[in-house]
Structure 1
Amino acid sequence: MTYTTQMDAARKGIVTEQIKTVAEKENMRVDDLMAKLAKGTCIIPCNKNHHSIVPEGVGEGMRTKVNVNLGISKDANDVELELDKVRHALRLGAESIMDLSCFGKTQEFRSRLVEISPAMIGTVPMYDAVGFYDKELKDISTEEFFKVVERHVEDGVDFLTIHAGLNRAAAERIRKNERITSIVSRGGSLLYAWMEQNDKENPFYEHYDRLLDICEKHDVTLSLGDGCRPGCLADSTDAAQVEELITLGELTKRAWERNVQVMIEGPGHMCMDEIPGNVMMEKRLCHGAPFYVLGPLVTDIAPGYDHITAAIGGAIAAAAGADFLCYVTPAEHLRLPDLDDMKEGIIATQIAAHAADMAKKIPGSRDRDNAMARARADFDWCGQFGLALDPERPREYRQASQPEVEDSCSMCGKMCAMRTMKRVREGKDLGMAK
């Protein structure tokens, strides 16, 4: 029996190698995973042309996954530097890489990324179209947009961010309800401008069936972009955002009718108390499709520290049911991140994802924390470093300030509470006077 996509295979009862791999990783019964894939509440983004991939699942009952944004731009177009970032991101355990390249040799970077990356890869073809054709946005035709989509898919990209829900109705909603930051989605703003300048409908909304044809052929997941996501707290959960989300729910059902896997992208910037409601709204309006969020950033006043504001929002969102977190770095809103920025962003987002997994009671999610607790109680420093999300930093801190005795740190020394309790229980002298 043949199949077109992982969703199609699940619906036909075919156990693919990708399904086996993900079920094992997630400690999930194959039958349970297939039921979720068939329903659309889980996805396995895995392009048939991405031969180096080690598949991951995203969705209901699974570990929260972390995405890292990379790519070349006109102001920072060093392909080798970006590939070095890719290798660092993979070593740090990122499950996904989004290539947001928008200038120059985008295909060279994309092809090399697909070749070396076991992580799933996403792109935003709209970014690439502007640089690829090297002409005014308004002069790019619908046919040309779709040629770029086809090229990305043929190159092996596992998921595509397409802002198909930002149609003319949503654009009108934005005009009637003024925002402080208007449209902050790069792809969304480009499509809005194209629609305005050409007095036409969003080509990806108007020709959505053609997009589904491409995705179905190569088993590419659609990441339905939130072109109306809020760019500040004041704009969150407004009419435009909600109207677009309703449209995305309709587009989700159309994709599922073609066995095309879907996830939904979400905000953005948002006050903490709104986050659980937004997750619930997405799950309701988009029929349980996996939710992929950027942050949300919970305050607008922390430039240089937005990896922290995003991690706070990401932890709340994932604990409420979001499935996939896009990392945010300290350089967000300010510059292209360097290697250090990238590392800070990945670790902060991994902390948020892991904390949420424990809150969601994902099987096995507390095992590592319990092992760390035992290593601390035993003063097993090497064990602690090995269990840490980032082994390098705690090792550096330990080496930089050596204590008088090995069973303590330089903050408490012999008055360490754990040391005191351990020695008392073992019938040993505390050794304070020595």
Structure 2
Amino acid sequence: MHYTTQMDAARKGIITKQMAIVAEKENMNKEALKDLIAEGKIAIPANINHHSLDPHGVGQGLRTKVNVNLGISKDCCNIEVELEKVRTALSMQVESIMDLSSFGKTEEFRQRLVEMSPAVIGTVPVYDAVGFYDKELQDITVEEFLKVVEKHAQDGVDFMTVHAGLNRETVEVFKRNKRLNHIVSRGGSLLYAWMELNNRENPFFEYFDDLLDICEKYDVTLSLGDACRPGSINDATDASQVKELMVLGELALRAWKRNVQVIIEGPGHMDLKEIQANMLLEKKLCHGAPFYVLGPVVTDVAPGYDHITSAIGGAIAASHGADFLCYVTPAEHLRLPTLDDMKEGIIATKIAAHAADIAKGIKGAKEWDYQMSQARQELNWDKMFQLAIDPEKPRRYRAESAPEHEDSCTMCGKMCSMRNMNKVMQGKNVNILREDT
């Protein structure tokens, strides 16, 4: 039986090869997975032209996924440096990479990325429009915006962030409700500027059906961007953010009627106490669609450490229903991330995702921690390193500070609780000041 998208297949009762792979990875019943895809509560971003893809599912009942942002900019436009980051991110087993390139040979980088990457690939086409046409933002036409979207789709991009919820109504709410940090979304600010300069409706909202034509043709998952996400905790959960979220929920229903898969994007900077309510709002207003969050960053005062502020927020968000975490690096708000920045951001976000999976009761999540605890009790260092979320760092730390006794570390020495309890439980003597006999 013919189908156009993963959602179309699911609604026709077809289990695609991508569904079968995801079901096995997630230890989930194939029929249950298919039904959730049909309802829009799970998405499998899988462009028909992404031939190297090893698919992943995002949504209800699945492991929390991690996305890494990469790409060239005007100030840092070395493609080979970015491709080295790609190779490292893939070796760290991230599920998704977004190419946020905004200058230069974006097509070359995007095509090489899709060709080499088994991870899901995402883009923000509006970033590419200015460079693609070598035209000022104001002069880009609706047709040209849509042509960039189609080019990304043809190149094999699995999901695209499109800020279609920033329509004229949302803009009026934004203007009436002043913010400390205005619109901090890069894509959102570009579209807002285009709308104001041309006195026009958002082209992606006005021509949403044309956008869906492209997504359906290539099976591109539409990631409905949050142009009005808060850029400070002061602006969180305000009228602009909630108004846009309501529009995104309506757009999700329109996309699903066309069998186009949808992910909803969310905040942003946010007070800890608001996170749970925001997760509930998204799931209610957007009909259970998968939720993709940046952070949330839970304090504004830690530049250089925003991989930590976002990991705190991400763990809370995912434990209350967020499905997909966009990593944040220590370089957030400061510079294009280096390779080391990227690695720190990945690890911090993977920790947040796993902590949330434990809280959500995802199958197998606690088993990993059980095995680590068992290895610690056995003082089995090699096994601990193998099980670590980042094996390299603990191996290096132990090598840099070798203990006198192998069954301890340089923190506790022979006072190590694991060592001494093992001895006592085995009926052996505990010699702290003297050598064992």
Q: TM-score range by the shorter chain?
A: over 0.9
Which AA in structure 2 matches 1:20?
Answer: A
Matched, 1:371 2:371: yes
Give the distance between the partners of 1:107 and 1:177, measured in 2 at CA: 39
- Return the letter of the residue paired with 2:103: F
SS of the residue 1:366 aligns to:
helix
Structure 1 residue aligned with 2:96: 96
Cα distance in 1 between the residues matched to 2:15 and 2:352: 32
Q: What residue is the counterpart of 2:218 in the other structure?
A: 218
TM-score (norm 2): 0.99
SS in 1 for 2:284: helix
Q: Report the Cα distance in structure 1 between the residues aligned to 2:215 and 2:166, rounded to whole angstroms.
A: 19
Gap regions ≥5 residues in structure 1:
none
The residue identity in structure 1 corresponding to 2:4 is T
Amino acid at match of 2:62: M
Q: How far is the alpha carbon of 1:395 from its aligned partner?
A: 0.3
Any idea what the Cα deviations from partners look like across 1:35-73, whole Å, max 9, x if unmatched?
A: 100000000000000000000000000000000000000
Aligned residue in 2 for 1:16 = 16
Q: 1:135-284, aligned counterparts within 5 Å?
A: 135-284=135-284
- Indicate the residue corresponding to 1:39 in structure 2: 39
- What's the offset of the Cα at 1:367? 1.1
The offset of 1:431, in angstroms, is 2.5
Distance 1:217 1:135 in 2: 28
Distance in 2 (CA, whole Å) between partners of 1:231 and 1:425 is 54
Distance 2:82 2:302 in 1: 26
CA distance in 1, matches of 2:93, 2:277: 30
Query: In 2, Cα distance between the equivalents of 1:168 and 1:59?
Result: 30
Per-residue deviation, 1:429 = 2.0
| 2:324 aligned with 1:329 | no
Counterpart code for 2:410:
S
1-structure distance, mates of 2:108, 2:329: 25
AA at the equivalent of 1:19: M
Structure 2 equivalent of residue 353 of structure 1: 353
- The aligned amino acid for 1:267 is P
Aligned length: 434
Secondary structure in 2 matching 1:103: coil
Distance 1:30 1:406 in 2: 47
Q: CA deviation at 1:105?
A: 0.3
**Paired amino acid for 2:8:** D
In the aligned structure 2, how far is the partner of 1:242 from the partner of 1:257?
A: 23
Q: How far does residue 174 in structure 1 lie from its aligned partner after superposition?
A: 1.1
Superposed, 1:312-327 pairs within 5 Å as 312-327=312-327
Secondary structure, counterpart of 2:222 in structure 1: strand
Instruction: Indicate the residue corresponding to 1:56 in structure 2.
Output: 56
In 2, Cα distance between equivalents of 1:311 and 1:339? 19
Shift of 1:78: 0.2
Q: CA deviation at 1:277?
A: 0.2
Specify the SS of the correspondent of 2:427.
Answer: coil
Matched, 1:417 2:412: no
Percent identity between the two aligned chains: 68
Q: Distance in 2 between matches of 1:75 and 1:171?
A: 31
**3-state SS of the aligned residue for 2:365?**
coil
RMSD: 0.5
